[in-house]
Structure 1
Amino acid sequence: MQRFTFTLVVEDRDLKTDEVVDALFEAGCDDALVGSSEGVQFLDFDREAGSVEEAVRSAVADVESVEGLKFARLG
């Protein structure tokens, strides 16, 4: 396994609420930092996986499992 660092930009729900941060943690995003800049919300991941594609796909799936969050693009 390797460690990959990448950023996912997300839309729709406000990431800065305790409810959403807790839901992200429970969904498996305990390896991400939540942030925003100039109205753009993002998660900075430091994820272990077999490939970068696997790391990104699993992160997107984890994020989108939280009600109201939608993956927009890689940052």
Structure 2
Amino acid sequence: MRRSWMSEEAGVKAQSLGPAVAQLASSLQAVQGLLDACLETYRCLLLVVREFIDAQLKALEEARALSQPRREKVKVE
């Protein structure tokens, strides 16, 4: 989800102030795009790490269940 820090009207106003301001506005928009992409990548990485941790916890629970001695009922005659 991309959010623009500058409205279209403000962008037109900035361009009328001069090429340096227009270049700065363009650079800031490019940096914002890069930061948005980094944030999305980080979010995806966190999801992968969460899935990995969940899988490890499940494996530990299964191993714990298998390592516990099984108690069977013994018939007494």
Larger RCO of the pair (alpha carbons < 8 Å, separation 6+)? 1
| TM > 0.5 fold call | no
Structure with the larger strand share: 1
Q: TM-score, normalised by structure 2?
A: 0.30
Higher helix residue share: 2
Whose radius of gyration is greater, 1 or 2?
2
